[in-house]
Amino acid sequence: MTDSSTGTNAAYGDRDPDALARRAGERANPDRDQHFLVDDRVLDRIPSYLPDDADTGHLLEIGGGAGALTDRLLATIVSRSTESSETGDGHLSVIERDGTFAEFLRAEFTTAVDDGVLDVIEGDALDVDLPPFTACVANLPYGVSSEIAFRLLPEGRPLVLMFQAEFAERMVASAGESEYGRLSVSAQHYAAVEIVERVPKEAFDPQPAVESAIVRCTPRDPDYAVGDEALFLRFVKALFTQRRKTVRNAIRNTGHISGLDEPEAVVAAADEDLLRRRPGTLEPSAFAALAELARERGSPTEV
């Protein structure tokens, strides 16, 4: 499959990111949280981090910009369709909030749009309705990466996402590590999370102030039961606001955050060994056990 809108009939996956930015006629604006990934080697690798068995029937990209990653994702769709001897079986949706870039993407990839392979949704990824995607690959706007990630994770789909390196390290941290916190427990509740590549700031234009990392999130069921997911996530959030306290005092001090009317009843029912520990040393399963006690004994209310 080719796209003649560039005048070169270039196959997907071959577009130069700098040339794309020039054709778009507008530079990335760091004041709008725009930093274009321009390193061809990194761009070529990103789609390969999808799990081998990932369904590419409907890929989602958030923040298409000038289309360098869009181009690679279209190549992935075409390649996988060819390997499976199926045609017309792949689709890519791109969410782009900048109207100039959204219009450019439609023009640059006219053939893909006309063939029904690509659609460009103009709008904010935090506000628009998400299409029914099978996997998401994106270089996220860093200022809202947390909000977008936690809109995507509950969907239970494979994700390959670019984050600030510090944020990525917190996502993958284990209990007892200094980076471990609410983000770690919440992300790992939904998926197996791993950093698959670290990306230097020189790979972007303009360069961000921080290093970046690509994170793969492979959905899985946790090895513990949660009767009320919203309460579990509130409970984790609450206890990490008191991470220097013992779990006992953290439960007592944060009923207004977790929504517990009777935190003392939870403390009375909890295991003493857990109560003596600090939140940052608890495995996700321990948080789940405490959250279940909170559900059963703490008279939780909506927050």
Q: pLDDT tens digits, residue range 121-140?
A: 999 999 999 999 999 999 99
- Mean pLDDT, residues 76-82: 80
Pairing state between β 2-3 and 135-139: unpaired
96 is in an annotated binding site: yes
Which DSSP string corresponds to 57-86?
A: SSEEEE--TTSHHHHHHHHHHHHHHHHTT-
Evaluate whether 232 touches 284 at the Cβ level (below 8 Å): no
Q: How far apart are CA 3 and CA 171, in angstroms?
A: 38
* pLDDT for position 81: 67
In whole numbers, what is the pLDDT of the chain averaged over residues?
Answer: 92
65 is in an annotated binding site: no
228 is in an annotated binding site: no
Strand partners, 193: 217
* pLDDT for position 4: 39
Distance of CA 250 to the CA centre of its chain: 29
Q: How far apart are the first and last CA of the chain?
A: 51
* pLDDT for position 200: 97
169 is in an annotated binding site: no
Strand partners, 219: 191
201: which residues sit within 8 A by CB, 6+ positions away? Answer: 207, 208, 209, 210, 211, 212
- φ, ψ at 54 (rounded to 5°): -65, 140
- φ, ψ at 137 (rounded to 5°): -130, 125
Query: How many Cα atoms are found within 13 Å in the side-chain-facing hemisphere of 82?
Result: 7
- Mean pLDDT, residues 81-106: 83
- Mean pLDDT, residues 237-260: 97
Q: How far apart are CA 186 and CA 234, in angstroms?
A: 10
35 is in an annotated binding site: yes
91 confidence band (pLDDT: 50, 70, 90): very high
Neighbours of 29 (CB within 10 A): 11
Q: How far apart are CA 132 and CA 25, in angstroms?
A: 32
